[in-house]
Structures are given as C-alpha cells and as structure tokens.
C-alpha cells in the first residue's frame, strides 16, 4: 500500500511537471493590524521586527530615513466634512506637498476638492473604493477596489499614475500586499498618528498640535484625517513650528526618488 502511494504521488508530480505546472503554497492571508511604539523626543516610532520584515519584503514603508529631518504629510479622506479646503489653503500658503488617500465615496462626493489636490501639486493615493477589510475579500474584489479608485481619479484629474496604497482600517496581510505590489502599488503606512477622526469628540487645535509635536521624529510619515476640525485649525502652526525646528516637508515621490528611502535601522 505504501509503495502504491509513492508511485501515485510520483506519477502526479510527473504530470504537473510535464504540463508546466507547479504546486505553490498559498500566500498567507493572516490579517495584520497596523501598530507601532510611538516616537518621542525625536526618536523614531518602531513597528517591531516582524512587521518591518514583512513591509520590507514588499517594498512597503512606514517611515523615512530617521537620520534626515524630513516629514511626509499624508491624509486619509473617506468623506468630506468641510475642512479640506482650509487644509489645502494652508498647504498652498506654506508650499507643503501632501498625499491624500481617497475612497470611492470621496471621489464621487467631493470631485472639486480632488481636482484641486492634483492641480496644486499633491498626490492622490488609493484607499480602496468601498473601504473594506481587504484581507476578507477575494483577489478579484481587491483588484476591482483598487482599479475603480485609480480609474475614477484619472477621469476627474488626469493623474495617470497611482502608485501608493493605504489599506482600509490599517489592516493588511502578506496576500494583500502581494496583490497590491503585483498591481503596481506600494503600501504606505505611517509612523505618527493619534485619535483624530471622531468628529463629535474634537478637543481644540491644541490637542492636534500637541499630539503631533510630542511624537514628531525625523523621517516621520504623518497620518491625519481631514474630517478633523482640530487638524485643520492646528496645521499652519504645526508646519511653521516644525520648519523652525529644521524639518523639511517632502512628498512620497521624494521618499522613493533615486533611492532616497534608506532606513538604516531596518538593515
């Protein structure tokens, strides 16, 4: 019986080889909820070796070089709450680039703001169309989610390339990272954030300002939500004060240009 099983397995392997097929293990789909040890006193945030290793494998990032006083400003835009114009006004005045990760709902309900983002030199990134947990939907659905955002952004703004993805809810897996990379996307996580999205629990501009300033560190990828009045009211002072401290605001394209992303702490 054992001999029969060995012969059967050998024959099955031969059929696969001669047909040009290979048996490959499925890419793991264990969900990872993004998290990290917050930065403080200008020391960088740390996501831990396991998360960092997975990000590095797929060319993803959550911070820039901790030895360079650069900041990468990003916003998540799920829906409009009346503050994005104010934020864009500040960015224009201070000549600061940003990346706005948008959903399908935002594209359909705030067309003029998305157009303004691109016209004023900002990057529009992909936050998926319906904002699902991508680890819980099949491969085809993941592709549709990303394609619809990319296509609609192009129709509205003429932005041809969409290279950056921020997974909804900060949840991803090795499978979703591979799918995204195969589709031409780089996962962009973050190294500085705080609870700013509860619109009925805004605490005043100082709350936003203080949370940013106490966590700031060289190479920070800063995540803010545009629905927050606190963020909109604090942004100009944050930018001005960080510039006084020697920080430079750069775009995600700068982070990746000419090998600019090189975090020695990850090697």
* Predicted pLDDT at 26: 87
Residue 112 — φ and ψ, nearest 5°? -60, -35
76 belongs to the catalytic site: yes
CB 78 within 8 A of CB 109: no
Cα–Cα distance measured from residue 32 to residue 27, given in angstroms and rounded to the nearest whole number: 14
CATH number for domain 31-266, candidates 3.20.20.70, 1.10.3720.10, 3.20.20.370, 3.30.70.20:
3.20.20.370
CB 253 within 8 A of CB 225: no
Characterize 26-65 residue by residue with b for buried, 16 or more Cβ atoms within 10 angstroms of its Cβ, and e for exposed: eeeeeebebebebbeeeebbbbeeebbebbeebebbbbbb
Question: What is the torsional sign of CA 43, 52, 176, 158?
Answer: positive
Cα–Cα distance measured from residue 43 to residue 224, given in angstroms and rounded to the nearest whole number: 20
The number of angstroms, rounded, from the C-alpha of 94 to the middle of its chain's C-alpha atoms is 23
Options 127, 187, 225, 263, the catalytic residue:
225
List per-residue pLDDT tens for the chain, 267 residues long. 444 444 444 444 433 333 333 334 589 999 999 999 999 999 999 999 999 999 999 999 999 999 999 999 999 999 999 999 999 999 999 999 999 999 999 999 999 999 999 999 999 999 999 999 999 999 999 999 999 999 999 999 999 999 999 999 999 999 999 999 999 999 999 999 999 999 999 999 999 999 999 999 999 999 999 999 999 999 999 999 999 999 999 999 999 995 545 554 544
Task: Give residue for tokens 């959903």.
Answer: 103
Q: What's the start-to-end Cα distance of the chain, in Å?
A: 51
Cα–Cα distance measured from residue 211 to residue 244, given in angstroms and rounded to the nearest whole number: 18
* Predicted pLDDT at 16: 37
138 belongs to the catalytic site: no
pTM equals 0.89
Task: Give residue for tokens 């966590």.
Answer: 215
Centre a 10 Å sphere on the Cβ of residue 13 and count the other Cβ atoms it contains: 11
State the burial class of residue 22 (Cβ atoms within 10 Å of its Cβ: 0-12, 13-18, 19+): exposed
For 211-230, the DSSP string reads: HHHHH--TTEEEEEETT-HH
């Amino acid at each position: 019986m054992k001999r029969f099983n060995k012969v059967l397995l050998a024959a099955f392997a031969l059929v696969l080889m001669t047909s040009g097929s290979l048996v490959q293990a499925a890419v793991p789909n264990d969900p990872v909820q993004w998290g990290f040890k917050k930065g403080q006193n200008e020391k960088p945030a740390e996501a831990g070796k396991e998360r960092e290793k997975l990000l590095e494998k797929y060319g993803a990032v959550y911070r820039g070089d901790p030895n360079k006083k650069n900041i990468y400003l990003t916003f998540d835009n799920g829906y409009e709450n009346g503050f994005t114009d104010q934020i864009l006004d500040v960015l224009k005045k201070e000549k600061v680039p940003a990346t706005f990760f948008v959903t399908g709902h935002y594209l359909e309900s705030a067309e003029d703001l998305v157009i303004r983002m691109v016209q004023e030199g900002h990057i529009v990134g992909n936050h998926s169309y319906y904002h699902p947990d991508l680890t819980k939907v099949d491969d085809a659905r993941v592709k549709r989610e990303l394609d619809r955002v990319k296509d609609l952004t192009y129709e509205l703004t003429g932005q041809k390339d969409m290279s950056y993805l921020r997974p909804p809810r900060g949840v991803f897996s090795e499978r979703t990272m591979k799918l995204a990379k195969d589709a031409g996307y780089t996962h962009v996580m973050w190294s500085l954030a705080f609870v700013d999205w509860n619109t009925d629990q805004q605490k005043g501009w100082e709350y936003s300002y203080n949370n940013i300033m106490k966590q700031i560190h060289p190479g920070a990828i800063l995540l803010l939500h545009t629905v927050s009045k606190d963020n909109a009211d604090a942004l100009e002072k944050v930018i001005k004060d960080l510039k006084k401290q020697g920080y430079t605001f750069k775009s995600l394209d700068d982070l990746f240009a000419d090998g600019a992303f090189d975090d020695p702490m990850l090697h």
